[in-house]
């Protein structure tokens, strides 16, 4: 398996523009997580899905952020309009539910480094 | 509410020193426990995990962790660190039997190794 795939790896955009980050989870995983990491705030959980349904979006900073998971193999995180304070590394991770084998850890993608100027 | 505490924010050691990073969690149910490592500029990778059996878990690169249920702790150890262990380390927990359980991460401990 290729692991969790995120695109783009780097994104530089101007303030006010729309930004869309993409994630392809590991096949067979039923949970997907979006995290944001900054020096100031560390690793923050923004939202997570289970079986394509958003379960907890309490970490989404404000209405400018939205996330979708239209099917089991694709998710997007959108920021509209973007602001300089959104600059961060955004990670997507996926995991599977307990089946007795102990394999419930999260697998992370390489991240998208977003810079809003 | 579930939470994970990592009390050491930044640890500085010399090469060959022994390492112990603290992790305490708060959760009333049955949990799975994890340690992740993030090398500079990279993503988080699993170091080791505990879900049952021997509470002393061995992971990659000589790391190990001990689950002490009575103390709600899962401390990470390594007998002799190397410069290449410089990274940020995250402890994490999730509810074992919930099909929709989120993984809760601690705030991380930055480890700097002096050559």
Query: What are the pLDDT digits (tens) for B67-102?
Result: 999 999 999 999 999 999 999 999 999 887 776 678
CB contact under 8 A, B96 and A108: no
- Residues in A closer than 8 angstroms to B100, CB to CB, are 31, 50-51, 55, 97
pLDDT at position A101 over 70: no
Average pLDDT over residues A3-25: 97
What are the φ/ψ torsions at residue B44 (nearest 5 degrees)? -75, 135
First vs last C-alpha separation in chain B: 41
pLDDT at position A70 over 90: yes
Q: Write the CA distances from B19 to A29, B12, B87, B111, integer angstroms.
A: 34, 10, 13, 9
The whole-angstrom separation of Cα A111 and Cα A79 is: 16
- Residues in A closer than 8 angstroms to B32, CB to CB, are 98, 102, 104-105
pLDDT at position A99 over 70: no
Antiparallel, parallel or unpaired: β A107-108 and B87-95: unpaired
Nearest CA in chain B to A33: B102
More confident residue, B89 or A98: B89
Q: Residue A48: its pLDDT value, please? A: 93
The whole-angstrom separation of Cα B115 and Cα B104 is: 33
Average pLDDT, chain A: 93
Closest-CA distance of chain B to residue A14, Å? 23
Return the closest-CA partner of residue A28 out of A92, A99, A76, A90: A99
Q: Residue A107: its pLDDT value, please? A: 94
What are the φ/ψ torsions at residue A87 (nearest 5 degrees)? -60, 125
Per-residue pLDDT tens over the stretch B19-70: 999 999 998 788 889 999 999 999 999 999 998 889 999 999 999 999 999 9
For B72-75, the CB contacts below 8 A with 24+ separation are B72/B24, B72/B25, B72/B26, B72/B27, B73/B22, B73/B23, B73/B24, B73/B25, B74/B23, B74/B24, B74/B25, B74/B33, B74/B35, B74/B50, B75/B20, B75/B21, B75/B22, B75/B23
Q: Residue A57: its pLDDT value, please? A: 93
A interface with B, Cβ–Cβ below 8 Å: 30-31, 33, 42-43, 45, 48, 50-51, 55-56, 91, 93, 95, 97-98, 102, 104-111
What are the φ/ψ torsions at residue A39 (nearest 5 degrees)? -65, -40
**A7-43 burial by CB neighbour count: b if 16+ within 10 A, else e?**
eeeebebeeeeebebbbbbbeebbbbbbbbbeeeebb
């Amino acid at each position: 398996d290729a692991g969790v795939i995120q695109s783009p790896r780097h994104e530089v955009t101007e303030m006010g523009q729309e930004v869309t980050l993409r994630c392809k989870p590991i096949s067979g995983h039923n949970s997907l997580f979006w995290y944001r990491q900054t020096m100031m705030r560390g690793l923050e959980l923004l939202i997570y899905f289970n079986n394509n349904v958003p379960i907890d979006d309490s970490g989404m900073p404000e209405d400018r952020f939205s996330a979708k998971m239209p099917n089991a193999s694709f998710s997007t995180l959108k920021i509209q309009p973007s602001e300089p304070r959104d600059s961060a590394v955004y990670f997507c991770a996926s995991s599977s539910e307990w089946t007795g084998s102990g394999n419930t850890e999260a697998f992370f993608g390489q991240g998208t480094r977003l810079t809003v100027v | 509410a579930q939470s994970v505490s990592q009390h050491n924010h930044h640890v500085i050691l010399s090469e060959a020193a022994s390492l112990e990073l603290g992790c305490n969690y708060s959760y009333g149910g049955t949990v799975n426990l994890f340690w992740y490592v993030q090398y500079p500029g990279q993503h988080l990778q699993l170091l080791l995990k505990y879900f049952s059996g021997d509470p002393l878990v061995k992971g990659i690169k000589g790391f190990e962790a001990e689950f002490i249920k009575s103390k709600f702790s899962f401390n990470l150890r390594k007998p002799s660190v190397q410069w290449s262990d410089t990274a940020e380390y995250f402890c994490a927990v999730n509810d074992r039997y919930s099909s929709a359980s989120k993984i809760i991460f601690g705030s991380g401990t930055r480890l700097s190794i002096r050559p």
